Structure 1
């Protein structure tokens, strides 16, 4: 499956580019173009869904992870769920010929719905059928198709080895296509870096319909798609991963502390030590509103969530030496296999089968959702934390969270320019802010979005500056957007420097080389340099 020889289809595409898109073109012309395209093996007609198709809505809705976009007015004219690479090639070539934009979806977790919502005529290329995974234990590698989820990847690794893992995210239903191309945080990041740091090859279909591996695409493009977002450069079909060693036993704990239990002081100490701890331990903090067991009134609970690559006998002395303020004891800890720790961190109940990782739907159902992100380079003083807590007591914060993820160790060792993801040495932790709600309607949406924007504004004094950095995988259109047509480099820099810092210019240069006419574009796609000033 993963050998390039099985991917290539010799196609005469030059004529297709001689046709300029016409306003008279319709999606019917696009669909007819798909049907006429020479395919490798499987007819494309079985995987094309127009809005009149009885399976259109269920196909579109299946991978939507945010109710903000569930009934969006801007729906795709066509959905294509390719069964092989020739279907992707056809969609790319025919979209250009008939003036359609492409949005590529793997897991549907884009926080702003960019993989399935657009304000222009567009096609969703849903990679849900391209999810094959091949694990090579002997060489500690795996090929994973971009439509597979990280849960499916973890499961496949665990079926072949008890001492191999992969450093990717916590939520099992996240798609590997977008997750790896944006970076990929997880509980192994202090030991092994990001998911993108451990990608060693890839297959991508470019704007001309060519299928390229690392050698064929060249090191510039290979650099760009590992942290720069794949959707700006083509359609990623598969990743080759370097798997990492994990011990047969790891130790986990979820340790809650409320404000009445000195959470503020413990968080302050955490800021001083979390990025300096042994590389085998990751302790993140998840802060939410709860009712106080003492007064019954709302308070803030900080849960210290941790995974340690080793046994509890090693962990406890380490914690007593470096972080005694937490008060962790053996009874708070549980030893288990790495794959069971994946289930534990994802919130599954103890004893559940690893088969649950194959479930592509959300664990706790869907909600309306908005998130933002920050990076912290100096500890937030106690007064800063004290000012944060009242925001949790507002009505809109009932299902809100603030999450601190520590840096240090391997994350400090990798250069800012090694891949496009630039947030490395100097950061002591990363922040994710999130708010969700169940109420329908514009009024509820505006109230909750206003709340998280006020939270974000409050935190400005305590986070990175010039630029105020952000994480691509926690997509946030508030920090700047492209216009509906072509966007200048300077306009895109408003958001681009926040995600990519000094790597943004190199990303634009790669874009100029591989997609000069800016076919692969969205509200936060990398612009080509040559379009500078073009409207």
Structure 2
């Protein structure tokens, strides 16, 4: 056992004391901040009614309502001094102006799906600017566009589009409770990305509150900032108020399927072949492959692979295509279901076939499980022996799934510099490693985090290199992070190069112009020079 040195003990004590002083000072400033807010709010809805401090009986409920990962709702996690649940754009402006005036750190939360909780957790005294009340959606089928506020969820957007049109949609994620503020600013991908690209590729305008509290649109913010917030993480540059999205045209009927193959049913051969076929299929076809341990009753615990498909067309056409291009899958008519585009979003959300579409309007309750996610990009097919080695770890860990999301199609056609999201041509597929558990306790959490990192390390030979690329919206501070409210450029370049590759330098230049004092920051934000 290593005994701490006297210097180490002294450093720890000083850190605790300084932290206590910092929080005490911030609480003293909090009252001045709260008194400042009405001075800069022009709404008829009093901003005072949007404020939740720790003395408020609803504080804990409002805080936890948009925490999706139980790892960040435990008693030991630092809590904000206050939550401003903005009801009007001027409430956002006032929060930014007053926080800046009184040197208070803010975190911006639109849906709470930041995997690392960076939108609602900080190691220094902070307040949360919560956008969940700003969720209006205005659909204009005539010009095929919509204005969507940052707090509106993907499910709400899908539902509203379907109310207006049966032949329009929007390319975004499969989880209906993710809010559009963070979804789009980090890229936003889903089962139609091979046809239409990312959510961020289909944005025509945006409204943002900058560091001075001014509301900007595309024209007034300029093309550099408009470029940066579409995949570069909006929270580094300001507060996203709303997006003007471009609706896309979809068939009146689409087809979905979910085919599961066990090892005995040839899953290895099918998955190996999938790597060559899925990225080369026509743009209107998307097949995701997920490896996980079977958990059905009476089943032997073993790895099985689910192939979940989305086809912008009808069953007969899909069957002809798959039987020619991917016969190993063994897709049959009984596996396929025709439905409207909006019904397909319900299917992708994991609901049974036939579930009413109003389920898209449901809001999740308090977090129910702990989880850890990591990401990778694959540029060359993984050999069968490599797949077997992955499955061995999956079988050992059990509470993990490895999800392969195919690229190609439209993703190959958009330049890597068109938006900050650089992961375009040259990728066969993106991997998500997702591990979840319900057991409490720090020892249990550390055990699963260790499993996650070992699996990630074992994948090193098979994934992108120099840099090893990562998807921003699968937030993972293992790839690099600026901790303790510091922003060191060299550290930022480590995680920045993985998430943005060559686009990192342009993001830094934009940040330097629009927020030179680094007011908008978190552990993985873009730094100014």
Quote the offset at 1:35 in angstroms: 3.0
**2:387 aligned residue (385, 388, 400):** 385
User: 1:67 matched to which residue of 2?
Assistant: 70
CA contact (8 A) 1:25 1:99 kept: no
Distance (whole Å) between structure 2 residues aligned to residue 400 and residue 213 of structure 1: 42
- Taking structure 1 as reference, are residues 464 and 195 closer, same or farther at Cα in structure 2, changes over 3 Å only? same
Matched position secondary structure for 1:99? coil
**2:153 aligned residue (146, 149, 165):** 149
Distance (whole Å) between structure 2 residues aligned to residue 469 and residue 353 of structure 1: 38
User: 2:5 matched to which residue of 1?
Assistant: none
Matched position secondary structure for 1:380? coil
User: 1:310 matched to which residue of 2?
Assistant: 313
Pair 1:163 & 2:167 matched: yes
Pair 1:234 & 2:262 matched: no
User: 1:246 matched to which residue of 2?
Assistant: 250
CA contact (8 A) 2:37 2:98 kept: yes
Written as runs of structure 1 = structure 2, the 5 A alignment for 1:190-209 is: 190-209=194-213
Matched position secondary structure for 2:282? coil
Which stretch of the first structure deviates more once superposed, 425-434 or 344-353? 344-353
Pair 1:439 & 2:439 matched: yes
Matched position secondary structure for 1:125? strand
User: 1:359 matched to which residue of 2?
Assistant: 362
User: 1:188 matched to which residue of 2?
Assistant: 192
**2:294 aligned residue (273, 290, 293):** 290
Matched position secondary structure for 2:219? helix
Matched position secondary structure for 2:264? helix
Distance (whole Å) between structure 2 residues aligned to residue 328 and residue 431 of structure 1: 23
User: 1:533 matched to which residue of 2?
Assistant: none
Distance (whole Å) between structure 1 residues aligned to residue 363 and residue 276 of structure 2: 38
* C-alpha RMSD of the superposition: 1.4
Unaligned residue ranges in structure 2 (runs of 5+)? 1-24
Distance (whole Å) between structure 2 residues aligned to residue 320 and residue 313 of structure 1: 11
User: 1:134 matched to which residue of 2?
Assistant: 138
CA contact (8 A) 1:291 1:298 kept: yes
Written as runs of structure 1 = structure 2, the 5 A alignment for 1:412-491 is: 412-491=412-491
User: 2:51 matched to which residue of 1?
Assistant: 48
**2:176 aligned residue (146, 168, 172):** 172
Distance (whole Å) between structure 2 residues aligned to residue 129 and residue 387 of structure 1: 46
CA contact (8 A) 1:95 1:102 kept: yes
CA contact (8 A) 1:292 1:299 kept: no
Distance (whole Å) between structure 2 residues aligned to residue 494 and residue 379 of structure 1: 26
**1:210 aligned residue (199, 204, 214):** 214
Matched position secondary structure for 1:240? strand
**2:378 aligned residue (364, 376, 379):** 376
- Taking structure 1 as reference, are residues 522 and 249 closer, same or farther at Cα in structure 2, changes over 3 Å only? same
Quote the offset at 1:486 in angstroms: 3.6
User: 1:344 matched to which residue of 2?
Assistant: 347
Matched position secondary structure for 2:289? strand
Quote the offset at 1:484 in angstroms: 2.4
Matched position secondary structure for 2:294? strand
User: 1:29 matched to which residue of 2?
Assistant: 32
Distance (whole Å) between structure 1 residues aligned to residue 48 and residue 109 of structure 2: 19
Distance (whole Å) between structure 2 residues aligned to residue 291 and residue 123 of structure 1: 41
Distance (whole Å) between structure 1 residues aligned to residue 282 and residue 509 of structure 2: 38
Distance (whole Å) between structure 2 residues aligned to residue 61 and residue 479 of structure 1: 27
Distance (whole Å) between structure 1 residues aligned to residue 26 and residue 180 of structure 2: 35
Runs of 4+ off more than 6 Å: none
Quote the offset at 1:37 in angstroms: 2.9
Quote the offset at 1:483 in angstroms: 3.1
Pair 1:299 & 2:302 matched: yes
Which stretch of the first structure deviates more once superposed, 481-490 or 329-338? 481-490
Query: 1:411-463, CA deviations, whole angstroms, 9 ceiling, x for partnerless residues?
Result: 00000000000000000000000100000010000000000100000000000
**2:92 aligned residue (88, 92, 99):** 88
Query: 1:128-171, CA deviations, whole angstroms, 9 ceiling, x for partnerless residues?
Result: 11000000001110000000000000010011000000000000
User: 1:119 matched to which residue of 2?
Assistant: 123
Matched position secondary structure for 1:518? coil
Matched position secondary structure for 2:279? coil
Distance (whole Å) between structure 2 residues aligned to residue 387 and residue 172 of structure 1: 33
Pair 1:332 & 2:331 matched: no
Unaligned residue ranges in structure 1 (runs of 5+)? 1-21, 530-535
User: 1:403 matched to which residue of 2?
Assistant: 403
Quote the offset at 1:24 in angstroms: 8.2
Pair 1:518 & 2:515 matched: no
Matched position secondary structure for 1:92? helix
User: 1:532 matched to which residue of 2?
Assistant: none
Distance (whole Å) between structure 2 residues aligned to residue 38 and residue 388 of structure 1: 54
Quote the offset at 1:360 in angstroms: 1.9
Quote the offset at 1:351 in angstroms: 2.0
CA contact (8 A) 2:206 2:243 kept: yes
User: 1:14 matched to which residue of 2?
Assistant: none
Pair 1:261 & 2:278 matched: no
Distance (whole Å) between structure 1 residues aligned to residue 279 and residue 79 of structure 2: 44
Distance (whole Å) between structure 1 residues aligned to residue 296 and residue 43 of structure 2: 62
Matched position secondary structure for 1:493? helix
